[in-house]
Structure formats: C-alpha cells, structure tokens
C-alpha cells in the first residue's frame, strides 16, 4: 500500500455508502473504492440489475437492496446517479434523513434543486467524476467543498474542490470531450489502415502513443499545455505542419465553441 493510501486509511472513517442508480460512473466509483478499501459497506439500488449483481458478486462489501428507499435506510452517504430525465420522479419518492449526505452525480440539476428534493438531508454536494476513477486515475471536481467528498475521491485520482457552481459547469463541460478524444484516436488509426497498415498494428500503436503522451502530461505537472505543444514540434517539421493545418481549419477554436454550447445547455437545464 503506497503512502497516500496509508494516510487515507488511517484518517478515513468506515462509512455506509449507498448508490441510487448503478450505471457506468457509479460502477467505476465502486470499483475504485473497493480497490482501495473494502471495509465500507456499499448498498446498491436494484436499477441496472445486471451491473448491480455483478458488483455484488465481485466485492464482498457490496450488496443490492430491494428498493431505492432501502438504499437510503442503510446508508449515511448516498450517491445520486440516475439519469437527469428521471431524476425528479426518483428523488421525490425518497425519504431522506437529516443526517444524510447526498452526493449528486447528475449533470444537469442545480444545487438548490438538489437541496429541495433531498430535504431534510443536511449536506448536499455535486460531483463530476469520470470513468477512470475505476483505475484510480480520474480527476473528480466537486462543489461545495467538503472533507468527506475529498476523502472519498482523493484515492481515486485527484479530488478538486470548486468555489462556485459556475466553475462546476466548466468542469462538467470539460468532461464532454472524452468521446471526441477516442474519435480522434480512431481517425488516426483509420487513416493508417487506409494507407496499408494492418488494423491490429495501427490500433495498439495509436493507443500506446496517446497513453505515452498522457503520461507526459502528468510528468510535466505545472507546465503550460501550449509549452508542451511547442516542444513537440520543430520548425518546418511534421508536427508543425499538422498543427498549423488543424489550426487554420478552426479545429481548436471550434473546441471552445462546442464547450460554450455544452455550458449553455447545462445552465438552461437548471433554469
């Protein structure tokens, strides 16, 4: 066990955790938590029965409750992980206790709304984890700051405390780039295949290249991304040619426009 996990284990109280909704993000959090410590009692809702049953079969500290209300009754910290389209109906049907701490993973609902539908729960937090928390490599932004949330997510990658809900919108919008990242990898791999490279060679090559570059981002902590972009190109070189072409086509400025649209969508959904 590394130093971070030792310190975490020494300072973290054993908790009763509940999950209302067991989709991909909830499953990733549970996998990450169980990789760190299996002393927490984790109770899952019966939604997504196959996923819930699989998690309960793999981890001895995880069980599936008969109802959503049974999850709340067995938990102190409750993760809300249902789709926004059904959130209102699910949450208003539940009876929260004053000592509950609700952690919402629902992207498009406001903190004020969450406080209303989880009343009389004493504490409500919004969090935006990504699937790589399962491998303990995921940054998780959350608002408002709370020591329990930080203690839960810090061992799963990085816990980032935010100062306001507008900042939270920006982090949530940033997570919308994940699918595009993989599509970018697919575009490179497909071009290589179209130019005579076997798929079984192109796919792992591109994947390893991007993993290596991602690792350099961690190793270069504190350095500006623009400085890294400059470092990975030479005057008149191949990387410079592609970067200049994509810039001229508006690829990078369009990323900003796409994220602006996501942030506006999040704000409208909470109005």
CATH number, domain of 61, equals 3.40.50.720
Q: Are 119 and 236 in the same domain?
A: no
Name the token pair of 254: 């369009």
pLDDT of residue 139: 94
Indicate the SS3 state at residue 125.
strand
Q: Are 95 and 129 in the same domain?
A: yes
pLDDT of residue 115: 96
Q: Are 154 and 182 in the same domain?
A: no
Sheet holding 77-80, edge to edge: 62-64, 41-44, 16-20, 77-80, 101-104, 123-128, 138-143, 157-161
Q: Are 13 and 95 in the same domain?
A: yes
**In the structure, what pLDDT confidence band is assigned to residue 220 with cuts at 50, 70 and 90?**
low
Q: Are 155 and 251 in the same domain?
A: no
Q: Are 141 and 262 in the same domain?
A: no
pLDDT of residue 12: 54
Average pLDDT of the residues in 51-60: 94
Q: Are 43 and 74 in the same domain?
A: yes
Indicate the SS3 state at residue 232.
coil
**Which tens digit of pLDDT belongs to each residue from 17-55?**
999 999 999 999 999 999 987 788 999 998 888 999 999
Within a domain: 169: no
Within a domain: 171: no
Backbone angles phi, psi at 164, to 5 degrees: -155, 170
**What's the predicted TM-score (pTM) here?**
0.87
**In the structure, what pLDDT confidence band is assigned to residue 223 with cuts at 50, 70 and 90?**
confident
pLDDT of residue 214: 84
Q: What is the mean pLDDT of the chain?
A: 91
Among 123, 140, 163, identify where a domain stops: 163
Q: Are 10 and 106 in the same domain?
A: yes
Q: Are 145 and 193 in the same domain?
A: no
**In the structure, what pLDDT confidence band is assigned to residue 135 with cuts at 50, 70 and 90?**
very high
Q: Are 99 and 190 in the same domain?
A: no
Indicate the SS3 state at residue 158.
strand
- Per the structure, the complete domain to which residue 244 belongs is given by 176-270
pLDDT of residue 113: 94
pLDDT of residue 215: 80
Among 131, 163, 195, identify where a domain stops: 163
Average pLDDT of the residues in 91-102: 97
Q: Are 247 and 196 in the same domain?
A: yes
Give yes or no for residue 177 having a pLDDT over 50. Answer: yes
Q: Are 115 and 238 in the same domain?
A: no
Q: Which residue has the tokens 């709304």?
A: 113
Domains contained in the chain, number: 2
Instruction: State the virtual CA torsion across 228, 231, 236, 241 in degrees, nearest 10.
Output: -20
Find, among 169, 170, 174, 178, the residue nearest to 269 by Cα: 169
Residue 216, domain CATH:
1.10.3730.10
């Amino acid at each position: 066990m590394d130093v971070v996990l030792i310190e975490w284990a020494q300072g973290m109280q054993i908790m009763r955790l509940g999950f209302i909704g067991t989709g991909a993000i909830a499953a990733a959090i549970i996998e990450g938590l169980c990789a760190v410590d299996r002393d927490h009692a984790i109770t899952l809702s019966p939604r997504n029965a196959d996923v819930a049953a699989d998690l309960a079969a793999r981890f001895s500290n995880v069980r599936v409750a008969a109802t959503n209300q049974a999850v709340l009754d067995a938990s102190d910290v409750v993760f809300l992980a249902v789709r926004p389209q059904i959130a209102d109906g699910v949450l208003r049907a539940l009876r929260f206790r004053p000592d509950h701490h609700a952690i919402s993973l629902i992207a498009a609902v406001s903190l004020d709304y969450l406080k209303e539908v989880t009343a009389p729960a004493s504490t409500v937090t919004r969090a935006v984890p990504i699937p790589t928390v399962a491998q303990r490599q995921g940054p998780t932004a959350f608002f408002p700051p709370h020591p329990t949330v930080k203690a839960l997510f810090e061992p799963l990658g990085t816990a980032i405390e935010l100062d306001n809900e507008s900042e939270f919108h920006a982090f949530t919008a940033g997570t919308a780039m994940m699918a595009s990242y993989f599509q970018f990898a697919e575009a490179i791999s497909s071009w290589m295949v179209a130019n005579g490279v076997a798929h079984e060679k192109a796919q792992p090559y591109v994947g390893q290249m991007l993993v290596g570059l991602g690792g350099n981002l961690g190793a270069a902590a504190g350095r500006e991304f623009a400085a890294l972009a400059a470092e990975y190109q030479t005057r008149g070189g191949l990387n410079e040619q592609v970067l200049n072409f994509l810039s001229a086509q508006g690829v990078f400025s369009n990323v900003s426009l796409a994220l602006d649209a996501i942030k506006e969508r999040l704000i409208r959904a909470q109005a």
